Structure 1
Amino acid sequence: MTHGDYDEALGKTIKALATPELPRRFARLVEGLAAFDNLIIIAYHGEHRPAVLYREYTDPVVYLPMDSQYLGGAYLLDPFYREHLKGKVRGLRRLVDVAPDHFRRTHYYNNYYKQTTLLDEVAVFASISESITLTACFGRDRSSGKAFGKHEVQALHDSEMTLSALLEMHWRDYQPESLAKAAPAPLEERLREALKQDHDIALSPRQAEVALLILRGHSSLSISLHLEISLQTVKVFRRQLYAKCGISSQAELFALLMPLFSRLA
């Protein structure tokens, strides 16, 4: 896209603010910087279940697991959701840059993410309020069969604050129904309660925290850095966790805990 073409596309996007045309104009603006196969705009509201505001795609298979699996609880393990929880996040994030080091070994990746055929994702984050984050997530899937190129990602980075501002302006009055509900308990607490109720397994808060970090794709080293504890201490927590759950592998941990996530959402 030439500078003139970008300027024209940006002008059309600005004119579309506060109209139903904005998502489509926004998509065409981004497309001029980096061609994508699919786009989904999601609103995250604190720790409540997120809402989909807009989507478009080349291959419909990419979003087939979205409503039942992702919104059903898998989002709790999504690296982009974890970015939202940091609060006031703006600008561009690439999934490969924010995902934990063992992300591709997780149940989330192998049993949800691979179904979508996604190969690469970049997301523009916009902060609507202290608790509401929008992400416009652009993906490459089997339709193109390749990841975003270095120059495409750089072009998006060069315009990331403009793209964030457009989303913030258009959805500045967005108020999800979930905000009227009481905030859910912290995820670690909900997991401990569900495990106790379903399996009579009583985890400590720290053991539940380690379990969730494993599910999200953190290695023992990554967990030690994240929790600021020694690697040896992490190994002790993992042994205690596995012993309490009556399991001996990470795969068994996934099999035990993942069915609970639809109730934790």
Structure 2
Amino acid sequence: MSLTLQDIAWHRSVGQLIEALPKPNFWTLLVRLLEQYVAFDSWVVLLFSSEQRPLVFAECPGNDGGPDTLFQDYLKGLYLLDPFYIASREQAQTGFFRLAEVAPEYFEQTEYYQRYFRLNVVADEIQLNCQLDGDRTLCLSLGSTQRFSAEQIALLSLIQPWVIALLRQRMPFEEVVPTAPMPASGVWRTQLETSALQLKGAQLTARELDVARLMLSGCSSKEIARKLDISAETVKVHKKHIYSKLGIKSQSELFSIFLQAQNA
């Protein structure tokens, strides 16, 4: 079996990336290599952890060259509704993941999708995850204004072992700046719980806060019931109590309360 010129070019590029592992322009070189094989419109390298907010190691520049305002909102708290973040916390593992595989049933109907995802990512997203230990996940996320084709997905699946190996080898060269630890109750509960008290004078139970988070992420009642190991009827009761305590009638209003919590 003979190698094609394209095969030789790929292996040579990977070799060059190995040499560039300690260099500041490593991520740019990696992205440029991937762009030769798969078209995408945005990218970001993140470190997910349950103990702190996501850390950004590298990202594509904004249209005006400055920081992306929507992405800053993501880092403040919207990441808690990100299907990829949720999936990495529920079942941490190394691999190649598509939005269609991790998004809840009603994801495209959520306020998160309407107000952030379709404006910032637009159509589709894929993520290459390297599980570093029991909690931390190093992620390379690629966003596109069009759906990734079956051919592109197949190609990324083929080269993912090389890319993930490079992610793992790069990690020792990244400077991880410690941030304030998460509250014991979790940042989600702290944000929404605080806002509910300040804005509505309401106190939600831990289970109601969990149901609220899953609602906002796009989970159906059946999905919430399965994730929390309760019945669908119990989920409906929790939803009723959440709406009643907060004096609201829609998920849109619940999302607004969440936004006020993260911007407080």
Asked if these proteins are the same fold (TM beyond 0.5), I'd say yes
**Pairwise mapping of residues 3-18 of structure 1 onto structure 2 (< 5 A)?**
3-18=7-22
Whether the aligned pair in 1 keeps the contact of 2:106 and 2:219 (CA below 8 Å) is: yes
Q: 2:102 aligns with which of 93, 98, 104?
A: 98
Query: Is 1:49 matched with 2:53?
Result: yes
Q: Partner residue of 1:232?
A: 233
TM-superposed CA distance for 1:95, in Å, is 1.6
Whether the aligned pair in 1 keeps the contact of 2:42 and 2:121 (CA below 8 Å) is: no
Q: CA RMSD in A?
A: 2.5
Q: Partner residue of 2:87?
A: 83
Alignment CA distance shift 1:189-1:156 (3 Å): same
Between 219-228 and 63-72, report the one with greater CA deviation. Answer: 63-72
Q: Partner residue of 2:153?
A: 153
Q: Partner residue of 2:203?
A: 202
Aligned residues: 258
Query: Is 1:192 matched with 2:193?
Result: yes
TM-superposed CA distance for 1:98, in Å, is 0.5
Q: 1:28 aligns with which of 28, 32, 45?
A: 32
Alignment CA distance shift 1:12-1:173 (3 Å): closer
Alignment CA distance shift 1:157-1:118 (3 Å): same
TM-superposed CA distance for 1:192, in Å, is 2.4
**Pairwise mapping of residues 48-67 of structure 1 onto structure 2 (< 5 A)?**
48-56=52-60, 59=63, 64-67=68-71
Q: Residues of 1 paired with 2:173 and 2:23: CA distance? A: 13
TM-score, with structure 1 as normaliser: 0.87
Structure 2 gap ranges (5+) = none
Q: Partner residue of 1:70?
A: 74
Secondary structure of 1:33's counterpart equals coil
Structure 1 gap ranges (5+) = none
Between 201-210 and 110-119, report the one with greater CA deviation. Answer: 110-119
Which amino acid is the alignment partner of residue 30 of structure 1?
L
Which amino acid is the alignment partner of residue 167 of structure 2?
L
Whether the aligned pair in 2 keeps the contact of 1:122 and 1:139 (CA below 8 Å) is: yes
Q: Partner residue of 1:249?
A: 250
Cα-to-partner distance string for 1:8-49 (whole Å, 9 max, x where unaligned): 221221221111232122113322332222221112233422
Q: Residues of 2 paired with 1:123 and 1:149: CA distance? A: 15
Q: Residues of 1 paired with 2:171 and 2:13: CA distance? A: 19
TM-superposed CA distance for 1:132, in Å, is 2.5
Q: Residues of 1 paired with 2:62 and 2:7: CA distance? A: 27
Secondary structure of 2:211's counterpart equals helix
Alignment CA distance shift 1:148-1:226 (3 Å): same
Q: Residues of 1 paired with 2:181 and 2:251: CA distance? A: 33
Secondary structure of 1:44's counterpart equals strand
Between 51-60 and 33-42, report the one with greater CA deviation. Answer: 51-60
Q: Residues of 2 paired with 1:189 and 1:31: CA distance? A: 39
Secondary structure of 2:53's counterpart equals coil
TM-score, with structure 2 as normaliser: 0.87
Q: Residues of 1 paired with 2:25 and 2:188: CA distance? A: 40
Cα-to-partner distance string for 1:79-134 (whole Å, 9 max, x where unaligned): 12213324643121112221111111111111112222521111111223333322
Whether the aligned pair in 1 keeps the contact of 2:124 and 2:144 (CA below 8 Å) is: yes
Alignment CA distance shift 1:58-1:69 (3 Å): closer
Q: 2:42 aligns with which of 27, 38, 43?
A: 38
Alignment CA distance shift 1:231-1:87 (3 Å): closer
Which amino acid is the alignment partner of residue 160 of structure 1?
Q
Which amino acid is the alignment partner of residue 21 of structure 2?
L
Which amino acid is the alignment partner of residue 156 of structure 1?
L
TM-superposed CA distance for 1:59, in Å, is 5.0
Alignment CA distance shift 1:239-1:38 (3 Å): same
Whether the aligned pair in 2 keeps the contact of 1:63 and 1:116 (CA below 8 Å) is: no
Task: Work out the percentage of aligned pairs sharing the same amino acid.
Answer: 29
Q: Residues of 1 paired with 2:194 and 2:124: CA distance? A: 35
Q: Partner residue of 2:168?
A: 168
